[in-house]
Amino acid sequence: MRIQHLDKDTKKSLLEDLLRRSPSQYEEYEKGVNEILLQVKSRGDESLFAYTRKFDGAAIDASNVRVTEEEIEEAYSMVDEDFVEVIRRAIGNIRAYHEKQRQNSWFDSKPDGTMLGQKITPLRRVGVYVPGGKAAYPSSVLMNIIPAKTAGVDEIVMVTPPGTDGKAAPTTLVAANEAGADAIYKAGGAQAVAALAFGTESIPKVDKIVGPGNIYVALAKKAVYGHVSIDAVAGPSEILVIADETANPRYVAADLLSQAEHDELASAILLTTSRELAGKVSEETDRFLKELSRADIIRKSLDNYGYILVTDTMDEAIEAANEIASEHLEIQTADPYDVMMKIRNAGAIFIGEHSSEPLGDYFAGPNHVLPTNGTAKFFSPLSVDDFIKKSSIISYSRDALEKIHRDIEYFAESEGLTAHANSVKVRFEGGAGR
């Protein structure tokens, strides 16, 4: 990995490189995505199935688009029992974590006749997109479905691309069944997003779409925002490690590569105050690349977006980390909790040398759907909050309104909204309303 001293120019170049990976930079794909959305919106199942044949090579129609109980049973027969047990243990951790995020409605009544509150209502129907194709990610199934179930969503509709045999990945089906999906449909790509956003004869319209996908899925979600809600427009995976001279270089190198193997656009960055550690991490990286199965992808990722940056002080490393606002941030320093308290921007923070990033991907409990491309400056991980909505509650008695009605009228009239003022004023004409 390249080793550089962090200065103003290095940081500026790094941030510009990382932002180029954003889905918003791929305008050349938008025309094609928008055409798919338009066709599915206007022609429903006809276009959905045509695109499935074109892109997935699968003969899907109204009779087989929905996954049956028999297909789920078949999936269980194809998956190792030990895998199912691991899934169930992970579900327990993920559910326990997300249950702590649940909110309750609240109401505050006062003796003066006022009552204010907030009503929490789960979304009615949510669509979960799960990637398919060459790779299956049952962990993403759990991370998207479980917070929705915990929030109390009435109906969870999952879509996932079929293989050429017209079947969904067995591990995906098992994970979805264990997590509690209400319906699973064999559809993928922008066409599946369109089906969820607008509804077709076979797939119902949802209120919100969540879940990761390729550039076409990301741009489709971006385009349908407003027709439905979405979680976020996700970019490529990222990891940033802050380390000092006390860190184990082999651990640091292994953790950097754990994200670089995702794809060629993934980013892996080390910020360290130790040039000696920087050199050792680079050496360990080279050793790992001789034995890892996805070494070709990792090399391209590191060549494009891999950095070892040496800073003069830990405060400089922390400042740079807050500017980068990485999806995953590991802290491997002598006092990691002190560093953690100074971090403002990160999707998930892993503290200490034994808290490696895959712990969060699969098992610990916090959600692994995280903000990318610097959006951790203003976005949060997927949570129960993403699957609820809030309604304000306001109730005033006549006596309570009478005490403040002139303030409201004055305020409304100052804005030139006389009908607003009149709406309050009429309640006190000649004793009206008693």
Positions marked active-site: 327-328
C-alpha 155/C-alpha 187 separation (Å) is 18
C-alpha 242/C-alpha 157 separation (Å) is 39
* CB-CB contact of 21 with 375 (8 Å): no
> CB neighbours of 351 closer than 8 A, spacing ≥ 6?
331, 336, 337, 340
Cβ atoms within 10 Å, residue 434:
7
What phi and psi values does residue 342 have, to the nearest 5 degrees?
-95, 0
* Structure-block tokens of residue 245: 């001279």
Kindly write down the DSSP assignment for every residue of 44-104, as one continuous string. THHHHHHHHHHHH-----TTTSBPPHHHHHHHHHHS-HHHHHHHHHHHHHHHHHHHTT---
Nearest alpha-carbon partner for 67 in 214, 197, 175: 175
* CB-CB contact of 339 with 242 (8 Å): yes
* Structure-block tokens of residue 159: 């879509």
Q: What burial letters (b/e) apply to 242-273, b meaning 16+ CB within 10 Å?
A: bbbeebbbebbbbbbbbbbbbbbbbbbbbbbb
* CB-CB contact of 291 with 300 (8 Å): no
* CB-CB contact of 76 with 169 (8 Å): no
Beta bridge partners, 349, equal: 329
Q: What burial letters (b/e) apply to 188-208, b meaning 16+ CB within 10 Å?
A: bbbbbbbbbbbebebbeebbb
Helix segments in 153-294, DSSP class H = 170-179, 189-198, 215-224, 249-260, 275-289
Cβ atoms within 10 Å, residue 391:
10
DSSP letter (8 states) at residue 262:
S
